[in-house]
Each structure stands twice: as C-alpha cells, then as structure tokens.
Amino acid sequence: DTGVSQDPRHKITKRGQNVTFRCDPISEHNRLYWYRQTLGQGPEFLTYFQNEAQLEKSRLLSDRFSAERPKGSFSTLEIQRTEQGDSAMYLCASSFGTDSYEQYFGPGTRLTVT
Amino acid sequence: RKEVEQDPGPFNVPEGATVAFNCTYSNSASQSFFWYRQDCRKEPKLLMSVYSSGNEDGRFTAQLNRASQYISLLIRDSKLSDSATYLCVVTQPMDTGRRALTFGSGTRLQVQP
C-alpha cells in the first residue's frame, strides 16, 4: 500500500496525558498537512510542511500542539496535557509539488480523551 | 460567518434519482475549488475539481459561479454506493503561499433502494 499511513489508528488517553501521532506520506510527496475533524464537521487545517519546513500554522494549533517533520519524510503531531476538547479525528494528508492543491488523506488517528 | 457553507442534509433520494448540492464561499479571492467525498469513518477522497466552465465526470457534474460565490455538484442516476458525505472545498490564492484546504461541514447523501 503506497498511500498515506497513520499510526496509531485509535488512541484513548486520560486528560492531562501527552500523546504523539505519526504520519507517513506518500513517498516523494514534499508537502504534508495535518487536519482535525470533529463529528459533523469538515476537516479543519492545523499545519503544513514543505519538506522539513513548517510553513503555515492555524490559530487552532495552540501551544499544547507541536508538529515536526525532521527529515522531510514522516511527521509527528504531539499534543501535551490533553483536554477532552482535543477528542477528534486527526487526519494527515500529502501532496506533490508546489502548485498542486490535490491532497491525499490518510485514514486518520481517532483520539478519545477521557 | 463560515468560510464555506453547505446544507448538512441529509438528502434521502431513491436509486436513479438526480440530486444537486450547493455550497457557498465567503472569500471572493478563493482560487481553486473541489468536491471531496467522505464515507462514514473514512478519510476524505477527492471526487473532482470544479472549474468555471463546468466539468463532468461520468454521472457527476460540477459547476462554479464566481459572481455568486457558489459551487454545485449534480449527481445523476444515483447509486446506493453514492451514499456518503460530500465536502465542498476552497483554497486561497496561490500567491498567498497558503496551501490549506478549507472544508465545508459536508452534505450527507443517503440513496435508498
């Protein structure tokens, strides 16, 4: 399978704990995006990378959230001191080139904060 | 006001029916437009791009009206497998450097036998 992969697929954590998610984009895709989706809503943009550079961050990305893409390949999204409001599906997407908006999404990581 | 607005539905239609969804966007400078499809508990997948001249892909026709800032999707001869949520997507102009997709909340379609 050469699509976008995400790990884990599901995560249940207690409020206050830290969690980290991983995304592996389609190989050779230089752009990687993180979105968050809650029930009944469309995905909301969090941040994106071009290679290893983080080029844009949404105001949704509070200081408890951090994302990295250290070698321009896989990316991690960490949420510190989780809150119940962080419960959502976290989607990763990738795209190729600088002019394309066509993004391919991974299956997502469903986070439940209890 | 949301950047992209859609009727959440659900639209319940019989097999073989024609159904149309509309979507409005608030930023007149928006550059590119898409329809994505999302099945229950799955990731969004690109259905088609939307052009001012209108474009068709099999039973699906998309149209953009820049003057009125709305986008439409028409599905002819609905199949059971068309049941899904259809997400309207807009983007910012390329020269802003912003590459994020802005999604509507989606319109749910349920095709019934």
Q: B46, A41: Cβ pair inside 8 Å?
A: no
Map A32-54 to HEC letters: EEEEEECCCCCCEEEEEEECCEE
> Token pair for residue A110?
């469903």
User: In B, which residues are within 8 Å of A55 by CB distance?
Assistant: 97, 99
User: Quick one: which H or E segment has residue A113?
Assistant: strand A109-113
% of residues, chain B, pLDDT over 90: 79
> Token pair for residue B112?
């019934």
- What pLDDT score does A26 carry? 94
Q: Is A64 within 8 Å of A79 (Cβ atoms)?
A: yes
Q: Rounded distance, CA B66 to CA B31, Å?
A: 10
- Average pLDDT value over all residues in chain A: 93
Query: Is residue A1's pLDDT more than 60?
Result: no
Can you give the C-alpha Rg of chain B in angstroms?
14
User: B53 falls in which pLDDT band (50, 70, 90)?
Assistant: confident
A·B CB contacts under 8 A:
53
- What pLDDT score does B2 carry? 84
- What pLDDT score does B113 carry? 95
State the DSSP code for A3. S
Could you tell me which of A45, A43, A87, A98 has the C-alpha nearest to residue A67? A45
User: In B, which residues are within 8 Å of A58 by CB distance?
Assistant: 100
Selected residue with higher pLDDT from B67 and A98:
B67
Q: A48, B104: Cβ pair inside 8 Å?
A: no
**Strand positions, DSSP E, chain B:** 4-6, 11-14, 19-25, 33-38, 45-50, 55-57, 60-65, 70-75, 84-91, 101-103, 107-112
Q: A101, B101: Cβ pair inside 8 Å?
A: yes
Q: Rounded distance, CA B50 to CA B55, Å?
A: 7
Across the interface, of A56, A99, A105, the residue whose CB is closest to B100 is A56
- What pLDDT score does B51 carry? 84
Q: Which pLDDT tens digit goes with each residue over B69-104?
A: 999 999 999 999 999 999 999 998 777 777 889 999
CA distances from B79 to A70, B16, B40, B41, B109 (A): 45, 6, 16, 20, 11
Could you tell me which of A55, A63, A33 has the C-alpha nearest to residue A46? A33
Q: Which pLDDT tens digit goes with each residue over A31-84?
A: 999 999 999 999 999 999 999 999 989 988 889 999 999 988 999 999 999 999
User: A107 falls in which pLDDT band (50, 70, 90)?
Assistant: very high
- What pLDDT score does B39 carry? 96
User: In A, which residues are within 8 Å of B100 by CB distance?
Assistant: 33, 45, 48, 56, 58
Instruction: Give contacts of A 52-71 with B, CB under 8 A.
Output: 55-56, 58
